[in-house]
């Protein structure tokens, strides 16, 4: 049946945690009180700080430190490892200020999408992106500090307890005609390609389209890891540009990591690898001020990638593809990688594209399970989109996609 994990630092928030724990238990659900305190004081929690700290890769001694910041970081790592070792997590609710939120949410992000997650936090009224990331964590603002029970905190904590109970008990039923889910990545400059593909796959697959803005790529990867997506058509790999060239829409070093870990069928391309994203024109780093810049709107400035940068990007993607054990087909659009990379448009640069394609072909170890294909089309031409579509269907037929 699983249990609801109630998590926080019992050395400072014991009464609040036990208040939430009792409300959940009164609903008939089993709970586990996990104490993630970094002071190593005696604890009466179901799972004590030393028990959690022992899951740190360097042992408990790496957690209980005099430096609070380092201790919080270490306990967060230990708690994530602890949660990853459990098979009885029906849901998780955490209470905390800035330190507690930073300590608890990494473990929440590790859990699959769909597992109930509620974080009551003093930080929930600000920028929650560092805590939520690509996961489905429900952040609830505590209104008052999480520092004792009062007329406000009882109401907020009670609502949070009832929320996690509702999520755990009232699970969403699957549709009787549930279709296999696939992920696709899109930018405005690759929309025609993705639209062509989704229109033709909609009857057979549940097409989940992700905006390749950093968080979008992370979200898709999270769903692949959670086994909620069984195949990917990665038209728009532009987030790699931002990772390597200091743009603002990076999905991080783990882009393509879920493809490697799961071996799902993967069809990819070079969508928007001609551009790096920055904010308003004034925010572009000084070292890029003399580059080919294009103001997409007042808040987004694009920079055209150079041949040398494209070689770096191609090699990075190529090394990732070499780690994939599942079927991979990667397509190169010789007449441009975006709507802006066509003759007469601002980012048309055949030399930069050629450097990208050559780097990919030289880096990728091609075999019967991993192929690179050049096509004499722009990425948004119907012929190119059809090639991606056909390649995906072929891969799925051979791998028997069932997700």
- Which has more confidence, 8 or 399? 8
Where does the pLDDT of residue 399 fall: very low under 50, low under 70, confident under 90, or very high at 90 and above? low
Q: Are strands 266-269 and 232-234 parallel, antiparallel or unpaired?
A: parallel
Domain boundary among 139, 169, 199: 169
Whether residue 186 is found in the same domain as residue 335: yes
Domain count of the fold of the chain: 2
Q: Which has the closest alpha carbon to 227: 197, 270, 182?
A: 182
Whether residue 149 is found in the same domain as residue 275: no
Consecutive H or E run containing 356: helix 350-363
Rounded CA gap, 383 and 43, in Å?
65
Average pLDDT over residues 305-323: 98
Average pLDDT over residues 376-388: 98
The pLDDT mean for the chain works out to 94
Domain boundary among 136, 169, 202: 169
> Tokens 């999270």 map to which residue?
222
Say which CATH number the domain at 202 has: 3.40.50.12030
Domain of 142, in residue numbers: 3-169
pLDDT score for 392: 96
b/e map of 340-354 (b: 16 or more CB within 10 Å)?
A: bbbeeeebbbeebbe
- Residue 295 pairs in a beta bridge with 301
Whether residue 141 is found in the same domain as residue 244: no
Whether residue 131 is found in the same domain as residue 264: no
Rounded CA gap, 123 and 136, in Å?
16
Q: Is the pLDDT score of 261 beyond 80?
A: yes
How many CB atoms sit inside 10 A of residue 296's CB? 14
Whether residue 386 is found in the same domain as residue 290: yes
pLDDT score for 213: 93
pLDDT score for 403: 40
- Structure tokens of 354? 């050629």
Reading phi first (left if > 0) and then psi (alpha if -120 to 50, else beta), residue 256 is in: left
Residue 12 backbone dihedrals phi, psi, to 5 degrees: -125, -15
Consecutive H or E run containing 164: helix 151-169
**Number of helices followed by number of strands (H, E) in the chain:** 13, 14
Rounded CA gap, 14 and 38, in Å?
14
Whether residue 127 is found in the same domain as residue 264: no
Q: Which has the closest alpha carbon to 351: 315, 303, 307?
A: 307
Rounded CA gap, 363 and 321, in Å?
9
Per residue in 330-377, pLDDT (tens digit) is 999 999 999 999 999 999 999 999 999 999 999 999 999 999 999 999
Task: Find out whether 178 and 187 touch, Cβ atoms under 8 Å.
Answer: no
- The three-state secondary structure class of 43 is coil
Where does the pLDDT of residue 121 fall: very low under 50, low under 70, confident under 90, or very high at 90 and above? very high
Say which CATH number the domain at 147 has: 3.40.50.12020
Q: Which residues contact 172 (CB under 8 A, 6 or more apart)?
A: none
- Structure tokens of 235? 């038209």
Average pLDDT over residues 133-162: 92
Whether residue 60 is found in the same domain as residue 198: no
Continuous H helices in 45-150: 49-53, 68-84, 98-110, 129-132
Q: Is the pLDDT score of 28 beyond 70?
A: yes
Handedness of CA 94, 95, 99, 102 (dihedral sign): positive
- The three-state secondary structure class of 302 is strand
Per residue in 187-211, pLDDT (tens digit) is 999 999 999 999 999 999 999 999 9
Sheet with 370-375, side-by-side order of all strands: 206-211, 181-186, 232-234, 266-269, 328-333, 370-375
pLDDT score for 176: 60
Is residue 175 a part of any domain in this protein? no
- Which has more confidence, 311 or 226? 311
pLDDT score for 175: 66
Q: Which residues contact 65 (CB under 8 A, 6 or more apart)?
A: 38, 71, 74
Rounded CA gap, 113 and 133, in Å?
12
Largest alpha-carbon pair distance within the chain? 71
Whether residue 197 is found in the same domain as residue 159: no
Per residue in 87-115, pLDDT (tens digit) is 999 999 999 998 999 999 999 999 988 89
State CA 163 to chain mean position distance: 24
Domain boundary among 106, 136, 169: 169
- CB burial of residue 142 (10 Å; 0-12, 13-18, 19+): buried
Q: Is the pLDDT score of 319 beyond 50?
A: yes
- Structure tokens of 233? 């058509």
Per residue in 208-227, pLDDT (tens digit) is 999 999 999 999 999 999 89
pLDDT score for 1: 75
Whether residue 151 is found in the same domain as residue 186: no
Per residue in 43-93, pLDDT (tens digit) is 999 999 999 999 999 999 999 998 988 999 999 999 999 999 999 999 999
Q: Which residues contact 170 (CB under 8 A, 6 or more apart)?
A: none
Where does the pLDDT of residue 402 fall: very low under 50, low under 70, confident under 90, or very high at 90 and above? very low
- Which has more confidence, 297 or 55? 55
Whether residue 247 is found in the same domain as residue 359: yes
Is residue 241 a part of any domain in this protein? yes
Where does the pLDDT of residue 400 fall: very low under 50, low under 70, confident under 90, or very high at 90 and above? low
Is residue 174 a part of any domain in this protein? no
Task: Find out whether 181 and 230 touch, Cβ atoms under 8 Å.
Answer: yes
Is residue 384 a part of any domain in this protein? yes
Rounded CA gap, 138 and 167, in Å?
11
């Amino acid at each position: 049946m699983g249990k609801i994990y109630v998590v926080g630092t019992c050395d400072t928030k014991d009464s609040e945690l036990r208040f939430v724990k009792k409300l959940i238990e009164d609903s008939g659900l089993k709970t586990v009180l996990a104490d993630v305190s970094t002071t190593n004081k005696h604890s009466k929690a179901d799972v004590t700080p030393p028990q959690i700290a022992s899951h740190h890769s360097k042992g408990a001694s790496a957690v209980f430190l005099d430096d609070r910041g380092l201790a919080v970081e270490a306990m967060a790592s230990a708690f994530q490892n602890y949660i990853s070792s459990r098979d009885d997590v029906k849901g998780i609710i955490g209470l905390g200020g800035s330190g507690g939120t930073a300590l608890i949410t990494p473990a929440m992000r590790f859990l699959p999408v769909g597992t109930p997650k509620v974080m009551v936090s003093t930080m929930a009224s600000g920028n929650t992106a560092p805590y939520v990331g690509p996961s489905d964590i429900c952040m609830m603002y505590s209104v008052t500090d999480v520092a004792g029970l009062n007329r406000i905190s009882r109401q907020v904590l009670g609502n949070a307890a009832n929320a996690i109970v509702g999520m755990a008990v009232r699970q969403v039923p699957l549709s009787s005609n549930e279709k296999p889910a696939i992920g696709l990545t899109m930018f405005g400059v690759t929309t025609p390609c993705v639209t062509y593909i989704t229109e033709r796959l909609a009857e057979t697959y549940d097409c989940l389209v992700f905006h390749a803005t950093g968080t979008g790529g992370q979200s898709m990867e999270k769903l692949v890891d959670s086994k909620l997506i069984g195949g990917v058509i990665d038209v728009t790999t532009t987030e790699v540009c931002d990772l390597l060239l200091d743009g603002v829409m990076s999905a991080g070093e783990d882009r393509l990591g879920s493809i490697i870990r799961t071996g799902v069928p993967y069809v990819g391309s070079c969508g928007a690898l001609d551009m790096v994203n920055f904010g308003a024109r004034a925010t572009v780093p000084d070292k890029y001020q003399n580059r080919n810049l294009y103001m997409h709107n007042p808040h987004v400035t694009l920079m055209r990638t150079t041949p040398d940068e494209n070689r770096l990007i191609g090699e990075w993607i190529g090394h990732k593809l070499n780690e994939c054990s599942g079927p991979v087909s990667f397509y190169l659009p010789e007449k441009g990688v975006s709507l802006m990379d066509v003759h007469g448009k601002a980012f048309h640069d055949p030399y930069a594209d050629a450097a990208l394609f050559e780097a990919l072909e030289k880096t990728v170890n091609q075999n019967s399970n991993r192929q690179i294909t050049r096509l004499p089309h722009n990425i948004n031409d119907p012929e190119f989109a059809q090639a991606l579509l056909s390649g995906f269907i072929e891969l799925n037929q051979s791998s028997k996609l069932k997700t």
